[in-house]
Chain A
Amino acid sequence: MREKLIYILGAVAAILLARNLYSIFMVLPDEASQGMIYRIIFFHVPAAITAMLGAGVTLITSVLYLLTKNLKYDAISVAVTEVGLAFLAANLITGSIWGRIIWGIWWTWDARLTSALVCWLLYAGYLMLRHAIEEPTDRARISAVFNLFAFVDVPIVIFSIKWWRTQHPQPVFWGGGSIDPAMYLTAVLNLVALVLLGVVLSLIRLRQEEVQREIDSIRRYAHAV
């Protein structure tokens, strides 16, 4: 059942990505002031949104774990965090490349970039914390609490361009920005594609996590017997 879901969602994501890549490279024209490099936004922004959605999901599953003590929520937390971390890294790297071309600098310490980097460090810290704890219920509890603390940075990342004057550009798609409708359609479709990709990767990772736990419990049983 879940495997079928993975294949179907994967196929939809692949088709959407193919359609979008065609649109981005073959159909859409260069942007008036930026030239070619603006096309990176079709990956940069959706990756950021996917990562933030992932952070939101792990917040909910961490709270649910602390309330119900059901370890399946812990498995979902780790799967989604790993995938979200990858998307956030993609966001930071694509942003950096764009910045090098447009501003001439790879990095700057403005509010948006700093808070996004801190967000990455926090969730990477979450994964490191998990490696340091062997007992499964302790690991689940401690990392769930750490996740709640880590999530406090996420609103700072999202609203930083509204609260401070930043090097990072002001909103383009929503929040007062403007964009050509043809580009907007491709951007939204790419967002859907990347979110579906994130879901597929999380489901695969979740399956890995469940198998790992089953192996651990069988191993423990074998040692006990």
Chain B
Amino acid sequence: MEFFRQTLVIAGKDLRAELRTKEAINAALAFSIVILVLFSFAFDPGEQETVDMSGGLLWIVFAFAGTLVLNRSFAREVPNDCLDALVAAPISGAALFLGKALANFALVMAVELVSLPVFGIFYNVHWTARIWSLLFVLVLGTWGLTVIGTMLSALTVNIRLRELMTPVLVYPLMLPALMSAMLLTMQLIAGKPLGGENEIWLRLLVVFDVIFTALALVLLETVLVG
């Protein structure tokens, strides 16, 4: 129970800090709208084409905008020795990781839930056909992105050229989750149900989430402390 209390304290701190300044979330929202607009003139898709590319487009938006939020998560602790304070605090690395991951997850989900209706409006796509399955896939996919982004933010917190290294390292790691989420989202927006042919992608997404969450919970303390 202590573990969960600590996790919630960290998550609460991060959310409060972000919601007071709203720097990352505004940048992420603006970026997602810009990408949606750019893609619409880059490709000018017809109706069927839009549905076919909906999964890919949405998850590119979520991954890129989400990374803006996720990179900041440990980077914002560096000024004023906040990172040292967190490392010295009587909480386990796993609690610190989970707290930050939950806060990041909430922020990235918020960006996604705003982007979805904007996508529906700009591209004239009816995306609510299988909304509960879509939200389920969104949650699983976003959790995968969040775990990788938060972990890599911790990994790269003290290195040179952090801003340049992080995208190079983060996107290949996220790829299995992104691919699964893109394919599932495209099928769901087209109106097909989960299961059957899609099952392998859903399974890959779940296994990805489980394995990387476990790895991150175990390894965060090693990364920050040594």
Stretch at the interface among B47-55, B94-102, B122-130, B168-176: B168-176
With A133-B159, A145-B222, A153-B176 given, name 20 new contacts (CB 8 A): A114-B179, A118-B175, A118-B176, A122-B172, A128-B165, A128-B169, A129-B159, A132-B159, A132-B160, A132-B161, A134-B160, A141-B223, A141-B226, A142-B223, A146-B155, A148-B219, A149-B148, A149-B212, A152-B208, A152-B211
A97–B141 Cα distance when bound, in Å, is 35
Residue contact B159 to A66, C-beta cutoff 8 Å: no
- Say if the beta carbon of B26 comes within 8 Å of chain A: no
Residue contact A66 to B172, C-beta cutoff 8 Å: no
Which A197-211 residues sit within 8 Å CB-CB of chain B?
A: none
Interchain nearest-CB distance for A152 vs B (Å):
6
Partner of B169, one of A114, A146, A148: A146
A66, A122, A141, A149 interface centre (most CB from chain B within 10 Å): A149
Q: Contacts of A36 on B, CB cut-off 8 Å?
A: none
Q: Contacts of B179 on A, CB cut-off 8 Å?
A: 114
- Say if the beta carbon of A174 comes within 8 Å of chain B: no
Which residue of the partner chain A has the closest CB to B219?
Answer: A145
Partner of B222, one of A66, A118, A132, A163: A66
Q: Contacts of B219 on A, CB cut-off 8 Å?
A: 145, 148
Q: Contacts of B175 on A, CB cut-off 8 Å?
A: 114, 118, 153
- Say if the beta carbon of B215 comes within 8 Å of chain A: yes
- Say if the beta carbon of B158 comes within 8 Å of chain A: yes
- Say if the beta carbon of A217 comes within 8 Å of chain B: no
B159, B161, B208, B226 interface centre (most CB from chain A within 10 Å): B159
- Say if the beta carbon of A99 comes within 8 Å of chain B: no
- Say if the beta carbon of A17 comes within 8 Å of chain B: no
Name A residues whose Cβ lies closer than 8 Å to a Cβ of B. 66, 114-115, 118, 121-122, 125, 128-129, 132-134, 137-138, 141-142, 145-146, 148-150, 152-153, 156, 163-164
Name B residues whose Cβ lies closer than 8 Å to a Cβ of A. 148, 151, 155-156, 158-161, 165, 168-169, 172-173, 175-176, 179, 200, 204, 208, 211-212, 215, 219, 222-223, 226
Q: Contacts of A134 on B, CB cut-off 8 Å?
A: 160
Residue contact B200 to A142, C-beta cutoff 8 Å: no
The DSSP consensus for interface residues of chain A is: helix
Q: Contacts of B156 on A, CB cut-off 8 Å?
A: 129
Residue contact B222 to A129, C-beta cutoff 8 Å: no
A115, A118, A150 interface centre (most CB from chain B within 10 Å): A118
Q: Contacts of A121 on B, CB cut-off 8 Å?
A: 172
Q: Contacts of A148 on B, CB cut-off 8 Å?
A: 215, 219
Partner of B173, one of A66, A132, A150: A150
Which residue of the partner chain A has the closest CB to B151?
Answer: A149
Residue contact B172 to A163, C-beta cutoff 8 Å: no
Q: List 21 A-B contacts (CB under 8 A).
A: A114-B175, A118-B172, A118-B176, A122-B173, A132-B165, A133-B158, A137-B226, A138-B158, A141-B222, A141-B223, A142-B159, A145-B155, A145-B219, A145-B222, A146-B169, A149-B173, A152-B208, A152-B212, A153-B176, A156-B176, A164-B200
In the complex with contacts A128-B168, A129-B165, A142-B176 CB distance below 8 A: no
Residue contact B160 to A133, C-beta cutoff 8 Å: yes
A134–B158 Cα distance when bound, in Å, is 11
Q: Contacts of A122 on B, CB cut-off 8 Å?
A: 172-173
Query: Which are the 7 A-B pairs with shortest beta-carbon distances?
Result: A121-B172, A132-B159, A125-B169, A122-B172, A118-B175, A118-B172, A132-B160
A118–B176 Cα distance when bound, in Å, is 9
Which residue of the partner chain B has the closest CB to A149?
Answer: B173
Q: Contacts of A145 on B, CB cut-off 8 Å?
A: 155, 219, 222-223
A146–B204 Cα distance when bound, in Å, is 21
A68–B94 Cα distance when bound, in Å, is 21
A114–B169 Cα distance when bound, in Å, is 16
Q: Contacts of A137 on B, CB cut-off 8 Å?
A: 226
Residue contact B159 to A149, C-beta cutoff 8 Å: no
Q: Contacts of B223 on A, CB cut-off 8 Å?
A: 141-142, 145
Q: Contacts of B160 on A, CB cut-off 8 Å?
A: 132-134
